[in-house]
Amino acid sequence: MRDIWMIFVSIFSAGVVSLLVELSLLREFVYIFGSTAVSNSIIISFFLVGLALGAYLGTWSKLGVRDETEARQRFAFIQLLSVLFVVLFYISKNYFVYHSAQPNLVRVYFIISVLGPSLLAGLAYAISVKIMHWRGEKYVTYIYAFSTLGSVVGGLAHGVVLVPLWGIQSAYIFAVAFAGIALYTMAPLMKLTRKIAVGAALIAAITLIHGGFHEALFPSSNLLFSKDSEFGIVEVWKLSESEARYKHLALGGKESDFSLDGEPIDLKVNNVHQSFNLPIDRRIHEQWAKTSLGIVNRPAKVLLLGYGSGVTAMAFLKSPMVERLDVVENCEPVVEAARIFFPAEMKYVEGSPKVRQIIDDFRGYVRFAREKYDIVALDHSIEDPYAIGFFTVEFFEQIKRILNPRGVVMILGKGLSWNTTRISFKYIYKNINPDTEPALRTGCLYMSDDEFTGPVAKDYLLVREGLKEDDLVYSDQRVGTLAELGVVRSF
């Protein structure tokens, strides 16, 4: 009976490895190609294809086994191949994640990388059936249960413990460790010399992953900060002067007023831009705070969704009109990076009694917030797992639920579609004051269900652009045209 439990421990451990590797590969792929329905479905679908193909290959007569001993040895060998795969992927991935300029090559690399471990997992499953069928039908049915339970534990460990606490590197190390457990428990009668050799191989694999060998092979000299979080990889990249100049011009600056306050950097989450430390970026956010406070023209409670660098928060706090400022950031490492690269702003913000810093999912916070706000600022860079849920009709309705009368919602851009924004807010304005930065005049929308009044109303032009027949509407439930969704509202 003890021998049977050792086999099930092996099958369970192999299940842990399967999900640890799958979720890690998905995370790496998302970094490059974004967190979208397409990117998620590609990785998950190819992983399942590999499982099915591996299970089928395991039934081939050419891969048949004479007895249980040979089947267990083959299962153990598959775990050793899984370890080899993890190591080869980990030491090569930096090239494809950071250096390769061929997007199709990167896609092929990840697809092959996904098929490899899933093919081995499917093959291992088929062989485990061969191991158990000599013992009786009920033991064969237990295989799926223990393998699935291992996958559940591996999936929860990846997202709840390993990545948030120790980063993606720990997921690969634990995958190697559990593959080793699966190997030893499935083949406990290995010769001593073979056990020692396998143990040395496992130690070498963990050392290669933990020792940063991949960074030595494919270094990223411009990467100043990198840390994992459950919401993505937070990085700070050094910009060259030419790159900084290009960003300056792209933000509406002039060649004549280009300047640097220090080493230029770009703060990113999952490879998506969040903050520059360029003077023009700072001016834009300072003016954004000033203009929105002028619109409400009263003591204001402000909610910033994103903007964890502290630049926007400090700009608001400099005004005596701010009564309360809640800064919601979903990535704790963003705050850590801000303390390093935006020290003056963060010191100012964290020292203010008006500020409440909150680490929470953006949409989750808004859904259950009981506070009412006068100003809500939406970070244009925020993404959710399918790249639409943040800028949907339903979420805009939740924003309006926590907005005080005559409050204003600010967003850089139009969200996913003009129709989604247009049907969500009755009044949408653009700033036309020539003293404001061009980026605010061309890219920022100020949205409300109330008409702008007061001293600064003259600085805003009501956007009279109506709904577009060929533009989509994004909802939590459906994506479709106005006619398909039965939308008749117009302005």
Q: Measure Cα distances from 465 to 277, 419, 458, 462 in Å.
A: 34, 10, 19, 9
Q: Where are the domains of the chain?
A: 2-217, 279-485
CA torsion through residues 264, 268, 272, 276, sign:
negative
For residue 389, the model assigns a pLDDT of 60
User: What does the pLDDT profile of the chain (491 residues) look like in tens digits?
Assistant: 558 889 999 999 999 999 999 999 988 888 888 777 778 888 899 999 999 999 998 887 666 777 888 888 889 999 999 999 999 999 999 899 888 888 889 989 999 999 999 999 999 998 988 888 777 777 888 888 999 999 999 999 998 899 888 888 999 999 999 999 999 999 877 788 888 999 999 999 999 999 877 877 887 778 999 888 777 789 999 999 999 999 999 888 889 889 988 899 999 888 888 889 999 988 988 898 999 999 999 999 999 998 778 899 999 999 999 999 999 988 889 999 999 999 999 999 999 999 999 988 888 899 899 999 999 998 766 655 444 567 888 889 999 999 999 999 998 877 778 888 888 898 999 999 999 988 888 889 999 999 998 889 999 999 988 888 778 888 877 788 877 766 655 54
The encoded tokens of residue 265 equal 């950097």
Which of 86, 74, 102, 76 is CA-nearest to residue 13? 76
For residue 392, the model assigns a pLDDT of 85
Q: What topology is assigned to 279-485 in CATH?
A: Rossmann fold (3.40.50)
Q: Name every residue whose Cβ is closer than 8 Å to that of residue 399 and which is 6 or more positions away in sequence.
A: 366, 376, 378, 409
Q: What topology is assigned to 2-217 in CATH?
A: Growth Hormone; Chain: A; (1.20.1250)
Same fold, 2-217 and 279-485: no
Residues 83/182, Cβ–Cβ less than 8 Å: no
CA distance 183 to 357: 47
Looking at residue 240, the DSSP 8-state letter turns out to be P
The encoded tokens of residue 121 equal 């997992």
CA distance between the termini of the chain? 74
Length of the chain equals 491
What predicted TM-score, i.e. pTM, was given to this entire model?
0.79
For residue 287, which amino acid is it? Q
Q: Name every residue whose Cβ is closer than 8 Å to that of residue 472 and which is 6 or more positions away in sequence.
A: 416, 417, 419, 420, 479, 480, 481
CA distance 260 to 245: 9
CB atoms within 10 A of CB 91: 18
Question: What does the longest C-alpha to C-alpha distance in the chain come to?
Answer: 88
The secondary structure element, H or E, covering residue 129 is helix 103-133
Q: DSSP secondary structure string, 213-225?
A: HHHHHS--TTEEE
Residues 288/251, Cβ–Cβ less than 8 Å: no
Q: Measure Cα distances from 139 to 128, 142, 189, 203, 438 in Å.
A: 10, 5, 22, 33, 70
3-class DSSP state for residue 93?
helix
CB atoms within 10 A of CB 294: 18
For residue 385, the model assigns a pLDDT of 46
CB atoms within 10 A of CB 442: 10
Residues 118/50, Cβ–Cβ less than 8 Å: yes
Residues 419/393, Cβ–Cβ less than 8 Å: no
Q: How many helices (H) and strands (E) does the chain have?
A: 19, 14
